[in-house]
Amino acid sequence: MSKVRLLVGTSKGGFILTSDGKRRNWEVSGPFFTGWEIYHMKGSPADPNRIYASQSSGWFGQVIQRSNDGGKTWEAPGGGVTTAPQGWPMGESNRFVYDTSDKTGKPLTTHQWYDGTQHPWEFKRVWHLEPSPTDPETVYAGVEDAALFRSTDGAHSWQELSGLRGHGTGPKWQPGAGGMCLHTIIVDPKDPDRIYVAISAAGAFRTDDGGKTWKPINRGLKSQYIPDPNAEVGHCVHHVALHPSRPNTLFMQKHWDIMRTENAGDEWQEVSGNLPTDFGFVIDVHAHEPETIYVVPIKSDGEHFPLDGKLRVYRSRKGGNEWEELSRGLPDRHCYVNVLRDAMSVDSLEPCGVYFGTTGGQVYGSADAGDTWEPIVRDLPKVLSVEAQALA
């Protein structure tokens, strides 16, 4: 019988939740790395025993952890800490080192904020880990300040794909409220040389040659809070998702607006439709229905909680514009939590399971594609990420 594994990153450690295919009873393992922020955990599609985790601390820096046995034991490949405040020890491997120049030789050491001031590029943490669909030794990392790294040796060593920052717009990127983070990485399941990334607050970008060259893919996005609302970069993209069967069709939760593209990001259209509010952080796609998408609206960019204190998921079965409220089993009053950008995921079972975690420490699950919900756990630390994986 199939099993489902949820990898849950929180502000005070990582947890692994497991259940059988019925998804009624769950076992909770953890916390792993107690007291550390686990920004993201994700398993390798190519090896069910391989899991990567981003372990971060303001005191001790950034560590990438790896498990080869499904989370029973962990190791930091290469050992040591990848970056740390001055005075703290740093390992000699497993480091992230920014390239210092772009393809023209111009230094990539600063970026310019809207007020014209120059700010140095600094490595702070890994926001997102994306294992290769086919090779358990290859994994991508999106970091703050925004850059994309790749390891081909199981996270022992990392190389920046510097064409992203060096393609021309990098010095114009701005930090969002949470920092200038590269938080979304999507490797096209049909073409591994095509990779999409999203950066807050710069926008979405695509490479078609494995990361050598990049271009912004933000045409059609409107952002009223930047000086030029039609700017090539500067848009605050919160999350992007696609269905493996249709990799040219992507869905975006933006800082206001739900967006859709059918041409790999060359042009976007708004599909917010009848949503009560189109602000939120997370968006995901049904495992078997490429036109079924899920979002969790929250009140506004200044009030990060559900409208009227009612936690709701909204589902569109038509790829946007027409949305239905999903509420059965979710809190109906006095709920003031948020769902962060990497905190929703789907499994590949039938019917599709949908899961999300909240800043209040709850993880909710639906074994019927969102029709009904139940809390899997209630009292974890603040949930930063949730990743679902079906296991044979």
Find the mean pLDDT for residues 103-107: 51
Give the number of residues written for the chain. Answer: 392
Q: For residue 48, what pLDDT is reported?
A: 94
- What is the per-residue pLDDT across 239-274, written as a single tens digit (0 to 9) for each? 999 999 999 999 999 999 999 999 999 999 999 999
Decide if pLDDT at 228 tops 60.
yes
Find the mean pLDDT for residues 114-127: 83
Query: Under the phi-then-psi rule, with left for phi > 0, alpha for psi from -120 to 50, and beta for the rest, what region is 94?
Result: left
Beta bridge partners of 284: 294
Other C-beta atoms within 10 Å of 56: how many?
26
Tokens representing 62 are: 């950034």
Other C-beta atoms within 10 Å of 88: how many?
12
Cβ-in-10-Å burial (0-12, 13-18, 19+) of 152 comes to middle
Tell me if 321 sits within 8 A of 344, measured CB to CB. no
Cα-Cα-Cα-Cα dihedral sign, residues 208, 41, 346, 18? positive
> Residues of 305-330 as b/e, b for ≥16 C-beta within 10 angstroms?
bbeeebbbbbbbeebbeebeebeeeb
Decide if pLDDT at 55 tops 50.
yes
Alpha-carbon distance of 249 to 364, in angstroms, equals 27
Cis peptide bond N-terminal to 85, omega within 30: no
Helix (H/G/I), strand (E/B), else coil: 18: strand
Which residue matches tokens 């703050």?
Answer: 144
Decide if pLDDT at 111 tops 60.
yes
Helix (H/G/I), strand (E/B), else coil: 324: strand
Phi and psi dihedrals of 171, rounded to 5? -65, -15
Helix (H/G/I), strand (E/B), else coil: 366: strand
Which residue matches tokens 């303001």?
Answer: 58
- What is the per-residue pLDDT across 178-201, written as a single tens digit (0 to 9) for each? 899 999 999 999 999 999 999 998
Q: For residue 5, give the nearest of 56, 35, 49, 68 by alpha carbon.
A: 49
Q: For residue 101, what pLDDT is reported?
A: 61
- Count of structural domains within the chain: 1
- Domain of residue 205 covers 3-391
Other C-beta atoms within 10 Å of 72: how many?
11
Q: Under 8 Å CB-to-CB from 64, ≥6 apart: which residues? A: 52, 53, 54, 55, 76, 77, 82, 94, 126, 129, 141, 155
Alpha-carbon distance of 342 to 240, in angstroms, equals 10
The pLDDT > 90 percentage for the chain reads: 78
Instruction: Tell me the CATH number at 323.
Output: 2.130.10.10
Decide if pLDDT at 29 tops 60.
yes
Tell me if 233 sits within 8 A of 202, measured CB to CB. yes
Q: For residue 147, give the nearest of 101, 103, 177, 183 by alpha carbon.
A: 183
Q: Residue 15 CA to chain centroid, in angstroms? A: 17
| 39-43, 55-59, 62-66: the lowest-pLDDT one | 55-59
Decide if pLDDT at 105 tops 90.
no
Tokens representing 114 are: 């809207």
Which residue matches tokens 């398993």?
Answer: 43
Q: Under 8 Å CB-to-CB from 200, ≥6 apart: which residues? A: 175, 176, 178, 179, 180, 181, 183, 236, 237, 238
Tell me if 373 sits within 8 A of 364, measured CB to CB. yes
Terminal CA-CA length for the chain: 7
- Tally of helices (H runs) and strands (E runs) in the chain: 0, 29
Average pLDDT of the residues of the chain: 91
Q: Under 8 Å CB-to-CB from 269, ≥6 apart: which residues? A: 220, 259, 260, 261
Maximal C-alpha separation, the chain: 59
Q: For residue 84, what pLDDT is reported?
A: 40
